[in-house]
Amino acid sequence: MSFRLCLVVLLAACALLARSPAFAEVIPIDDPVAAKIFADAKAKVGFWKLIHFYESQNDQTYCGVASATIILNSLDIESPPAPAIYPFRKFDQSNFFTEAVLAIKPPKLVHLSGLTLDELAGMIRAYGVTVDVHHAAAPMDLDGFRAIASAALADPKARVEINYHRKVLGQDGAGHHSPLAAYDAVSDRFLILDVARYKLPPVWAPAADVWASMATEDSDAKANRGFLVIRIK
């Protein structure tokens, strides 16, 4: 192989690796580059409310429950009582399971297999808020996702939750849920508030990679993963 051919092959291999979803470049929030992206980001109105209530999933299948808890608290929706802090009330990963939520899936089954996008949507809807379900499949596409999610992240009465596959973001793991907290148009990245905080930090991920990570089949749901837009009046 000539030197020039060898160089071309090497460059092509590098380009392929750089494009591979397994090598998506997510940026942890404590990276100096992330601080700059945050400073520039315009769609981040719910960020401060979300970090006020940001918490870890209580166990390894509670990503959906933790995401819902954070989002409901951040929207000031009246919660069921929380005995340990009575007379104060806040959503936690235990009192979230009211009778209406239990009817969708009880903790025993969530411990086994987590939640699908539609199950989580139903649970959040049980608290009287509007929940739009968008599976990452035609006719929805990357542009539609970016437009809907970035508009919601600029609206104080809306929140966004994603159901995605970690591998596509180059992270260890499989299907996962987390809230989005911001969108930056310059870098075209979303901030994912990862709820498995014992494992990975919050990250800024390229919109195209977030889309690709949602456009994966959830075998429990027999449908693609996707995103929720949660809205109060």
Binding site for its own copies (CB under 8 A): 29-30, 34-35, 39, 48-49, 51-56, 58-60, 82, 84-85, 88-90, 197-199, 201-202
Return phi, psi of residue 91, to 5°.
-65, 135
Q: Which is nearer to its own copies, 122 or 202 (CB)?
A: 202
Q: How far is the CB of 61 from its own copies (least distance, A)?
A: 10
Q: Which residues of 45-82 are buried (b: 16+ CB within 10 A; e: fewer)?
A: bbbebbeebbbebeeebbbbbbbbbbbbbbbeeebbee
- Per the CB < 8 A criterion, the answer to whether 156 and 45 are in contact is yes
Best CA proximity match to 22, nearest among 188, 171, 177 = 171
- Per the CB < 8 A criterion, the answer to whether 126 and 65 are in contact is no
C-alpha distances in Å from residue 75, one per residue of 40, 53, 157, 195, 215: 24, 10, 7, 18, 28
Coil vs helix vs strand at 27: strand
Return phi, psi of residue 158, to 5°.
-130, 155
Q: Which is nearer to its own copies, 95 or 206 (CB)?
A: 95
Q: How far is the CB of 158 from its own copies (least distance, A)?
A: 15
Q: Which is nearer to its own copies, 204 or 211 (CB)?
A: 204
Q: Which is nearer to its own copies, 82 or 133 (CB)?
A: 82
Q: How far is the CB of 197 from its own copies (least distance, A)?
A: 6
Q: How far is the CB of 198 from its own copies (least distance, A)?
A: 4
Q: Which is nearer to its own copies, 29 or 212 (CB)?
A: 29
Q: How far is the CB of 94 from its own copies (least distance, A)?
A: 12
Instruction: Please report where in the chains the tokens 């970090």 appear, as a residue.
Output: 51
Q: Which is nearer to its own copies, 53 or 133 (CB)?
A: 53
CA torsion, points 94, 95, 96, 100, in degrees to nearest 10? 120
Q: How far is the CB of 224 from its own copies (least distance, A)?
A: 28
